[in-house]
Structure 1
Amino acid sequence: MVKSSRYTHGHERATLASHGARTAANSAGYLLPVLRQGMSVLDVGCGPGTITLDLAEIVAPGVVVGIENVEKPLVAARAGAAERGDTRTRFELGDVMALPFEDDSFDIVHAHQVLQHLTDPVGALREMARVAKPGGWVAARDADYAAMAWYPELPELEEWRTIYRRVARGNGAEPDAARRMRTWAQAAGLTDVRYTAGTWNYADSETCRWWGHSQAERYSAELFAEQAGRYGVTGDDLVRIAAGWRAWGEEPDAWFAIVNGELLARLPE
């Protein structure tokens, strides 16, 4: 994340827990076929580092660095590395709009769910390409809120989506990022690009209960309440929406799908 962009979700406990469920397998499958042992990887906006550490295992003994622009998620990432016995992977402060690395530094520059939160995603892609080596790869994956689908179609969840998209755009971000990734890549000057789509799908009782209660906690917390309040959303509104999320999570036939756009660009040799 970048200091010039406000991260709508923040780094509260529920958010970090949700991000901690992400793995290379469930969140970066489109990237895995190009990874090789010994590659160097920069993971931009690494959060609690679960994807970063998975990538590090695949490319070991290559150099892997995860960056965030605030310290809180890095603490969780370093703890995760210690639990795995990973002493090679580094987690550092850094800004995607001004990466603290020389040109041509990494074989892979990866960003998961980052571009959607930025005021200048095109500039971020250009900066990611700058630090990628000739013949290296720029990889990005982002969700699309307008394309999310769920059942049962509780009105509180639709209200949540409307509020979230308004808040995110008020922060200068683009919540419907997936559909814009081709446009952003072209504007950034990336030419040899593959565009794919992947989904997260929640369709069993345990996962839906976790997702529903996690979302309820995230969007009734003080940080989001303060942002939503700028648009006339009250605390009572958020309590009602949180109750809707919990009710959805307890439905025996609950189902939720998140569409993600995936961008994989090869740089010229």
Structure 2
Amino acid sequence: MSVLDCGCGPGTITQGIAQIVAPGKVIGCDLEPGMVERAAALAEGANLDNLSFQVGNILDLPFEDNTFDAVLSCAVTEHLGEPVKAMSELGRVVKRGGVVGITRTDWAAHMIAPSCGAVNRFFELFESGFNLQGGTMNGGRNLPSMLGEAGLNVVDVLIALSGAYTPEPGNAMVNGWAEWIENLPLFDRVIEEGLTTRDELDAMCAEMREWGAQPGTIAATGGCRVVARKD
């Protein structure tokens, strides 16, 4: 098989695909040159001669029509203002009879226990930040219809919650969300738009970390994973 992982990030998923389909050719592409460099560096020493990385825009991929047997994209289309256009582009580069697999988040469905106001506020502000950029974290439920609109035939749908349960203190997922609040430019943008303040965000991080330090916490978010075929 020949496989494209579109929006590969650091390429950890891409490496796993390359191991599975070897000696089939696998390409990971990402919009950010720095991320492509990081993925290539992380793959060094993995002895994967069938794996390569290159810069590529999911809305205008640098590949001929009907190039790949399978095209994958994980947690990318939620960032886009034109997700159907991206899905059509994935369909263009996959061969007839080939498959397109996409994972798309839907954080409107989530499970947090015990209840935590700071986590709920995080979800609200994170979605507002995505909306300001033209995307959404709550659109996974629309993925099957989007792929159909892009001209692909949906053959399998998995709707699931994924997350973390910690019998011991320290919920890594929620601690990671607190780090996003502190480091992602998206949260600077929501401050600029008057949707929150740095003081509120700092208080949220402290509350989230305190919550995550409790034993027995659950943090899970929803998503939709769809496989579609190009007829």
Q: Which residue does the alignment assign to 1:267? A: 230
Aligned partner (choices 109, 119, 126) of residue 164 of structure 1: 126
Contact 2:168 2:215 in 1 (8 A): no
Contact 1:44 1:67 in 2 (8 A): yes
Q: Which residue does the alignment assign to 1:215? A: 177
Q: Which residue does the alignment assign to 1:20? A: none
User: How many angstroms does 1:87 deviate by?
Assistant: 3.3
Aligned partner (choices 110, 122, 126) of residue 72 of structure 2: 110
Secondary structure of 2:53's counterpart equals strand
Aligned partner (choices 234, 239, 246) of residue 197 of structure 2: 234
Amino acid corresponding to residue 218 of structure 2 in structure 1: W
User: How many angstroms does 1:172 deviate by?
Assistant: 0.6
CA shift digits 1:115-169 (9 cap, x unpaired) = 1111111001100000000110011011111112211211111111111111111
Q: Which residue does the alignment assign to 1:3? A: none
Change (3 A) 1:216 1:83: farther
Q: Which residue does the alignment assign to 1:12? A: none
Output aligned runs, 1:1-269, within 5 Å. Answer: 39-205=1-167, 208-221=170-183, 223-232=185-194, 233-268=196-231
User: How many angstroms does 1:205 deviate by?
Assistant: 4.7
CA shift digits 1:47-96 (9 cap, x unpaired) = 11111100110000011001111122223211221142323311110000
Change (3 A) 1:206 1:89: farther
Change (3 A) 1:156 1:195: same
Amino acid corresponding to residue 119 of structure 2 in structure 1: L
Amino acid corresponding to residue 50 of structure 1 in structure 2: T
Q: Which residue does the alignment assign to 1:15? A: none
Following the alignment from structure 1 to structure 2, what is the Cα–Cα distance between the partners of residues 242 and 83? 38
Contact 1:81 1:87 in 2 (8 A): no
TM-score by length of 1: 0.81
User: How many angstroms does 1:208 deviate by?
Assistant: 5.0
Following the alignment from structure 1 to structure 2, what is the Cα–Cα distance between the partners of residues 167 and 182? 24
Q: What is the number of equivalent residue pairs in this alignment? A: 230
Change (3 A) 1:83 1:249: farther
Equivalent pairs: percent with the same residue? 31
Following the alignment from structure 2 to structure 1, what is the Cα–Cα distance between the partners of residues 167 and 5? 32
User: How many angstroms does 1:97 deviate by?
Assistant: 0.6
User: How many angstroms does 1:253 deviate by?
Assistant: 1.5
Q: Which residue does the alignment assign to 1:22? A: none
Contact 2:130 2:186 in 1 (8 A): no
Runs of 5+ consecutive residues of structure 2 not aligned to the other structure: none
Secondary structure of 1:203's counterpart equals strand
TM-score by length of 2: 0.94
Amino acid corresponding to residue 210 of structure 2 in structure 1: A
What's the C-alpha RMSD, in Å, of the aligned pairs? 1.6
Secondary structure of 1:119's counterpart equals coil
Change (3 A) 1:256 1:208: farther
Amino acid corresponding to residue 138 of structure 2 in structure 1: D
Contact 1:208 1:255 in 2 (8 A): no
